[in-house]
Amino acid sequence: MTSVRVDAELVRRGLARSRAHAGELVKAGRVSVRGLQVTKPSSAIGDDAEIDVVADPLDEGYASRAALKLAGALDAFAASGPGDHLEVGAGATGQQVADAVPGAWCLDLGASTGGFTDVLLRRGAAHVVALDVGHDQLVPRLRDDSRVTAVEGYNVRDLDRADLERSPDLVVGDLSFISLTLVLPPLARVLGPGTPALLMVKPQFEVGKDRLGTGGVVRDPALHVSAVLDVVAAGADVGLLVRAVVPSPLPGPSGNREYFVAFERGEPLVGEVAREASRPAVTAAVAWQPDDAGSVRPPVFTVGTPVAPPIAAVGAAPVGSASSAGAATDPTNPSSRTGGAP
């Protein structure tokens, strides 16, 4: 008998799609070895040990659990209409975000095993560039799909239009260990006018280590609101204007709440103006509570375009120019760390 890691053995036996997926199964309490529940993906077991995995009724064969988050958000966008969401001003509706997927040339930031990429392809995307700072994470069936271009070892802070075959029609992102305020300036440089971007805000990577609770969970709702609004303001500064906020239908693996923010490329605005215009929608999104199974469709909270002059005074360049990189980030701010993912 040889001793092996349980996550690696799950993949070898075909019980998990990847090491990341195996880790998710273990952390969800769905893996038992010889009748005893395994609690750590790194646990050592015998290569001949009996392993049982409890089936997940929500698992549709996606590349990762994260796929269910994007799928739930897109379902919410597709179903949004009068009475289904909070209107603040005359903003774009969620339906427009859902309609952007079929036939789109997409960019997936922080693709990892490919959960978001998987969802986009299943919903009719023509092509997805799956970008990640890591290596060898994308599941084989997506790596071998002619509709997918895997870009590995690439930090999203270095994102440049010259590195892409063309401007994307839609951008999605599920990034960890980095503040989105660092990602938005380079992202703005590759988007054309009116192009949507649907990014997941994770408060645990926005508020700074000193504000994290036990287990790295942000428990104060006020900090959730502040984290999302900080991202909204940073986006406005570089011409990424918030159109809607949707709470993720599933919490993160440790129980952290997460939020999708739908941006649209426009002209730069004063960040504080966008922050206040978005506050009612963000506050409502934070107040909504998902169930543990992710079976409840989240609401869509739309945000209108703030009435304010563009930031001509701070030297904002035309949309798409290399000099429209946006506001500087305070390197002393804990939430501005670069992290280990793009």
For residue 3, count other CB atoms closer than 10 A to its CB: 9
Q: Cα dist. 319→79, 190, 260, 294, 312 in Å?
A: 31, 9, 24, 38, 12
Strands (E), 91-179: 105-109, 127-132, 148-152, 170-173
Q: Are residues 1 and 48 in contact, defined by beta-carbon separation less than 8 angstroms?
A: yes
Q: What is the pLDDT of residue 184?
A: 96
Task: Specify which residues 128 forms β-bridges with.
Answer: 106, 148
Instruction: Kindly give the parts of the chain with pLDDT less than 50.
Output: 82-92, 309, 312-342
Q: What is the pLDDT of residue 320?
A: 32
> Residue 45: which region, alpha, beta or left (left: phi > 0; alpha: psi -120 to 50)?
beta
Q: Are residues 106 and 127 in contact, defined by beta-carbon separation less than 8 angstroms?
A: yes
Q: Which of 199, 306, 305 is nearest to 260 (CA)?
A: 199
For the chain, the distance separating the N- and C-terminal CA atoms, rounded to the nearest angstrom, is 40
Q: What is the pLDDT of residue 325?
A: 31
Q: Cα dist. 220→201, 210, 257 in Å?
A: 15, 13, 11
Supply the Cα-derived Rg of the chain in whole angstroms.
Answer: 20
How much of the chain is in helix, strand and coil states, percent to nearest 5? 35, 20, 50
Map out the domains of the chain with their CATH numbers.
3-53 (3.10.290.10), 66-336 (3.40.50.150)
Q: How far apart are CA 219 and CA 212, in angstroms?
A: 8
Global pTM?
Answer: 0.73
> How do residues 9-25 score in pLDDT, each as one tens digit?
887 776 776 777 788 88
